[in-house]
Structure 1
Amino acid sequence: MTGVTLNKAIKKYGETQVIHGIDLEIEDGEFCVFVGPSGCGKSTLLRMIAGLEETTDGAINIGQRDVTHMDPAKRGVAMVFQTYALYPHMTVAENMGFGLRMNGVPKPEINEKVSKASSILKLDQYLNRKPKALSGGQRQRVAIGRAIVRGPEVFLFDEPLSNLDAELRVEMRVEISRLHQEIGATMIYVTHDQVEAMTMADKIVVLRDGRIEQVGAPLDLYRDPDNKFVAGFIGSPAMNFLECDIVDGKLAHPAFATPQDCPITLPTGLTSVTVGARPEHIEMDQSADQLTIELTEALGGVSYCYLTGPNDTRLIIEERGDNRSSEGQTVGLSIPTERLYLFDPETGSRLR
């Protein structure tokens, strides 16, 4: 069993602390994605697991081994970087087997492992090509193949799809997910793209400022966020937020034609609250005129309407079906009470 456990892991650069006591357990065979905005510490945390960054305090275990201060080569991990880092003068087969050759592995064993990895990644027909003759997606598959032949206990991916165009990113997402299903190894994947996180992960770890905001399955985070940050970060387009006053136990905002019923019992003394609603849960009331449709994006099966209104209100609403709204219309909002999310306006914590 080869899971990864972090116990109060801390990273400091001099007096500056960037990772603040991370506690995390990644199960054996799990596909775990670290996600968050730039500068949140996700790549630093991955490099700490790899041994490329020294852990200032706390402990990191891979399986039953404490690897906190162990040499990277002895940790049983293989890392795939954003850049392919392939040797241009070597063939695909030579690139994939280079690490084994440097470690003195016999040539027949190298050939066997390269052949197996190339079969998994559908690279058989490219083994004698050099990197310049490959597409970006094929080069990234070679980099992944180089990791596979090492037979690591844990695979680490540091934003491996960032250099690919949109179509190739989708293709490689499928490839990496299929690879995980086929070999069943523990994989930890870093990305700033929450769509990648949602589509690939068994478990998502949402990070901000070197701290974990929430851990859970993709749909659990989407449907049941713990705070405003997670609610706004997970989901595309992002959740809409309105700063509402509380009037006679109801939620009041200029975008509402009438005050909205509150889905929970609010704490005593609270006079305002942040209300969240996902684009697909909001309907437009054509009989009202609180908001103006400023822009529409028709994407085929779905359209997104961008609305503006009083108090600098900006909303995105999803529409489907044949009858869709057009730019310049004035409308109101209709949101089922059970679809509303409420957050403390000061702390951002979820009110339940």
Structure 2
Amino acid sequence: MTGVTLQKAIKRYGATQVIHGVDLTIDDGEFCVFVGPSGCGKSTLLRMIAGLEETSDGQINIGARDVTHMDPAERGVAMVFQTYALYPHMTVEENMGFGLKMNGVDKAEIKRKVDGASKILKLDDYLKRKPAALSGGQRQRVAIGRSIVRGPEVFLFDEPLSNLDAELRVDMRVEIARLHKELGTTMIYVTHDQVEAMTLADKIVVLRAGYIEQVGSPMHLYQDPDNKFVAGFIGSPAMNFVNGVVEGGGVRVPGLADRVVPTSVGLPAAGTEVIVGVRPQDMALAEGASPISLDIRERLGGVAYDYLTTPTGERLIVESRGDMAMEEGTQVTVSFDDDRVMFFDAKTEQRLR
């Protein structure tokens, strides 16, 4: 059993602390994704697990071993980076087996492991090629294969798809998901792309400024976020936020329908400002006399994204499906499902429940 546990993990650079007492348990065989905006500490945390960054305080365990101060080579991990880091003068086969060769592994054993990884990653036809003759996606598969042959206890991925074009990103995302299903090994994956997080993860860790905001399954974070940051980060397009005021057992939303939205959540006193969150998928447009007009419409085939500005200045996105013919500049009314609305404290941004 090889899970990963962090206990009060801290990282400092001089007097500056960038990781703040992180407690986290990643179960054996779990696919865990660290996600968050640039500078949130996700790559630093991954590098601490790998041993590429020194842990200033706290403890990191891989399986039953305390690896906090172990060298990277002793931790039983393999890391796949954003850059492929392949040797240009070596073939695919040589790149994949080079680490084993340097460790004195027998040639027959190297070939067996390289052939096994090649079969998993569908690289059999490319083993004699050099990196220059490969596409970006093929090069990244070689980098992953180089990690597989080491037989690590934990795979670490640091934004491995960020250098690929959109189509290849989708293809490689599927390949990595299949790889995890086939190997069943613990994998930790860093990305700023919440779509990658939602499609790959068993568990998502949302980070901000070196703190964990929330941990949970993709759908748990989507359906039950703890705060405005998580609600706005998880889901594409992002959740809409507008200002509201507590009134008569509900919340009046002046920027939308200017009506009181009923709710059973615990609200502060009447007259208190709150933040109202509605996902684009839970809203609908109709033509009608209104101070709201359709600013921009992005047509993506079977779905369209409509961009609006409310009378109070908030920007909204509404997801529309079907062939609704509505031109930019049209006056529109906005409706939404009251049961799908979320409310957040205007000061702390914590979810009101």
Q: TM-score, normalised by structure 2?
A: 0.98
- Contact 1:3 1:26 (8 Å CA) reproduced: yes
**Which structure 2 segments of 5+ residues have no match?**
none
Q: Determine the structure 1 residue equivalent to 2:350.
A: 349
Q: Name the SS for the 1:246 alignment partner.
A: strand
Distance 2:292 2:243 in 1: 16
Q: Name the SS for the 2:276 alignment partner.
A: strand
Matched, 1:289 2:290: yes
- Contact 2:246 2:269 (8 Å CA) reproduced: no
- Contact 1:82 1:158 (8 Å CA) reproduced: yes
Any residues of structure 2 matched to 1:1-352 within 5 Å, and which?
Answer: 1-263=1-263, 264-268=265-269, 271-352=272-353
- Contact 2:10 2:20 (8 Å CA) reproduced: yes
Aligned-residue offset at 1:310: 1.5
Aligned-residue offset at 1:259: 1.4
Aligned-residue offset at 1:326: 2.2
Q: Name the SS for the 2:262 alignment partner.
A: coil
- Contact 2:245 2:271 (8 Å CA) reproduced: no
Q: 1:269 to 1:21 in 2, by over 3 A?
A: farther
Q: Name the SS for the 1:24 alignment partner.
A: strand
Moved more, 283-292 or 81-90: 283-292
Divergent runs of 4+, >6 A: none
- Contact 1:255 1:290 (8 Å CA) reproduced: no
Counterpart of 1:109 in structure 2: which amino acid? Answer: E
- Contact 2:29 2:186 (8 Å CA) reproduced: yes
Aligned-residue offset at 1:285: 4.1
Aligned-residue offset at 1:324: 4.1
Q: Name the SS for the 2:296 alignment partner.
A: strand
Aligned-residue offset at 1:334: 1.1
Distance 2:15 2:206 in 1: 25
Distance 1:267 1:13 in 2: 41
- Contact 1:3 1:28 (8 Å CA) reproduced: yes
Aligned-residue offset at 1:283: 1.4
Distance 1:6 1:265 in 2: 34
Counterpart of 2:244 in structure 1: which amino acid? Answer: C
| Number of residue-to-residue matches in the alignment | 352
Q: Name the SS for the 1:350 alignment partner.
A: coil
Distance 1:269 1:56 in 2: 47
Distance 2:114 2:266 in 1: 61
Counterpart of 1:280 in structure 2: which amino acid? Answer: Q
CA RMSD between the two structures: 1.1
Identity %: 70
Aligned-residue offset at 1:321: 1.7
Q: Name the SS for the 2:146 alignment partner.
A: helix
Q: 1:12 to 1:270 in 2, by over 3 A?
A: farther
Distance 1:17 1:190 in 2: 20
- Contact 1:204 1:215 (8 Å CA) reproduced: yes
